[in-house]
Amino acid sequence: MTKMSGAKALIESLDRQNVEVIFGIVGGATLPVYDVLCKSKIRHIHCRHEQGAAHAADGYARASGKAGVCIATSGPGATNLVTGIANAYLDSSPIIALTGQVCTTSANTSYMIGRDAFQEADIIGITTPITKHNYQLQGAAEIPKTVKTAFYIATTGRPGPVLIDIPKDTQTEVTEIEFSDKIVIRGYKPTFNPHPLQIRKAAELLAKAEKPVILAGGGVITSNASPELLQTAELLMAPVATTFMGKGAFPENHPLSLGSIGMHGNPVANKLLCETDVLLAIGTRFSDRATGNLDSFCSAAKKIHIDIDTAEIGKNIEADIPIVADAKKALNALHKRLAKQLKKKEKSAWIKRVKEAKEQLNPPSKGESKDLKPKALLQQLRKLLPEDAIITTEVGQNQMWAALYFNALKPRTFISSGGLGTMGFGFPAAIGAKVACPDRSVVDIAGDGSFRMTEQELATSVMEDIPVTVIVLNNSVLGMVAQWQRMFFKKRYTAVELGSVPDFVKLAEAYGAQGFHVESIAEFSKAVQKALKSNVTTVIDVPISSEEDVVPMVPPGCGINEQVGEY
């Protein structure tokens, strides 16, 4: 045991968890922590808004596979983290949120928890529904065990955010501190290994399937199970569709790839899922945006559902063979079992049907388009970027165009806000991803509405020397809302027009970044190439029509086999 302050114990505990970076903003209730942090080897990245800090930690986590860490002061600092925490919770992203808090009752009776002290907020109560777990420390001696346990909970099983609320007097308290490697958490025992009987049943069903389809969700990426997914698909000769969160789990240039399913999914993926006789779903929660009408979703198929979270099994879609396990371990066991039962399947009538559907629904483009259309822009961007480049997106039309037209070739290279649909996520997430992978190109595909939400993080990217590229698909409206008003409200446009303010080139330059305005595909290509070589963040303003829709689309209440509009 060593005598030290709570603040020092916190930084030492983070160091023992191999934390290399923290995203945050200092405040009065975290000053003792920052006083120690400035003397440590952990890098602090000064964000310009706490929401940006949470999204940056999220982007860092998704790109690296490690927990991201963010910190904020008490009261408004803590509540500004809430959107980012909720985003991480719904997308199963492991982040550790540290918040300062007013003093406990054992300190100054004028300023203590529960007396509505200056900048006090019940962040434990506020975040209980949107965290995997949260803690409020009662003394400095609790810090090492709490931090170690928090990281374990955040990164194991189904990942998610954990919050640690640290009263100011706990930070300044000096006491004997013990660091231990032991973790005991009553009631928390994730199931990692699949049940052999369920694996056998699944293998038997898949071996007999005539039209198998694999649906890969975000859990495949989380568990680093993409190699196992690929070998299983190739053994079965089964086409692979992904959910939006699973994009990148399977290379989208592979002959067996169908692309993403859902409301704005690839028509081939939506079509063939409705024809399958056996669906192998891995690491997906069957969200409403993926399935459409639940009653018609793969209604004729037997369903095998692999997920580490027991709460997801049978919640939205009933599984014929449920398998509670880590996706990587389950796929590995399933592949071994299948390899004993059958040789690699040759091209079948089902594979011919897959090829036919692709030719019919995704015909090749006739020459290269010179117009500034989202499809042409994103297909050109794919040609310009290396395979391991990381794409983040904002939320709205830009996000769906990216899902449809930009092929993700590797896991952890497509990062977006799925469950919460958070406007403003993409840019700070890009900063976090660049910190995690400094040698790789990072590009945020943005809409002008979303980028406005967190544009202040340009200061972070410039001052902290974190160069990323932002491509603003600028239609001067809140595009997705305008599309719905166009489709379902007889073009009664309300509160969607954004105009031409700000000038994004001037905005970038005001922050010390560089900006380009482009008017053609050729100019776009040159701007991207310059951005990739730049040592400062680049904003590329790309004007597109305000009448441009994201199609195809599954109308609300319809099944994914009822998609409308051309691809």
Angle at 90 between CA 87 and CA 92, to 5 degrees: 100
Closest CA to 22 of 48, 51, 66, 56: 56
Closest CA to 59 of 399, 434, 419: 434
Beta bridge partners of 241: 215, 259
Strand 414-415, strand 442-447: pairing: unpaired
Write the single-letter amino acid at 6.
Answer: G
Output DSSP code: residue 3: E
Tell me: cis bond preceding 502? Omega within 30 of 0 counts.
Answer: yes
Backbone angles phi, psi at 158, to 5 degrees: -85, 115
Using an 8 Å Cβ cutoff, are 93 and 86 in contact? no
Query: Angle of helix 196-208 relative to helix 327-341, nearest 10 degrees?
Result: 50
Write the single-letter amino acid at 79.
Answer: T
Burial class (CB in 10 A: 0-12, 13-18, 19+), 116: exposed
SS (HEC) of 244-309: CCCCCCCCCCCCCEEEECCCCCCHHHHHHHCCCCEEEEECCCCCHHHHECHHHCCCCCEEEEEECC
Using an 8 Å Cβ cutoff, are 214 and 225 in contact? no
CA distance 563 to 265: 9
Among this protein's residues, is 4 annotated catalytic? no
| From 245, 263, 453, 480, the catalytic residue | 480
CA distance 295 to 286: 12
| From 168, 247, 271, 328, the catalytic residue | 168
CA distance 547 to 248: 29
CA distance 536 to 314: 48
CA distance 306 to 321: 9
Contacting residues for 2 by C-beta, under 8 A, at least 6 apart: 176, 177
CA torsion 65→244→390→500, rounded to 10°? -130
Using an 8 Å Cβ cutoff, are 306 and 283 in contact? yes
Among this protein's residues, is 168 annotated catalytic? yes
| From 4, 8, 23, 50, the catalytic residue | 50
CA distance 538 to 540: 6
CA distance 111 to 137: 17
Using an 8 Å Cβ cutoff, are 127 and 198 in contact? no
| From 119, 231, 379, 456, the catalytic residue | 119
CA distance 47 to 214: 40
Tell me the residue length of the chain: 567
Among this protein's residues, is 464 annotated catalytic? no
Among this protein's residues, is 245 annotated catalytic? no
Helix (H, G, I), strand (E, B) or coil at 480: helix
Token output for 379: 């297909």
| From 118, 463, 488, 526, the catalytic residue | 118
Among this protein's residues, is 119 annotated catalytic? yes
Using an 8 Å Cβ cutoff, are 183 and 149 in contact? yes
Catalytic annotation, residues: 50, 118-119, 168, 480
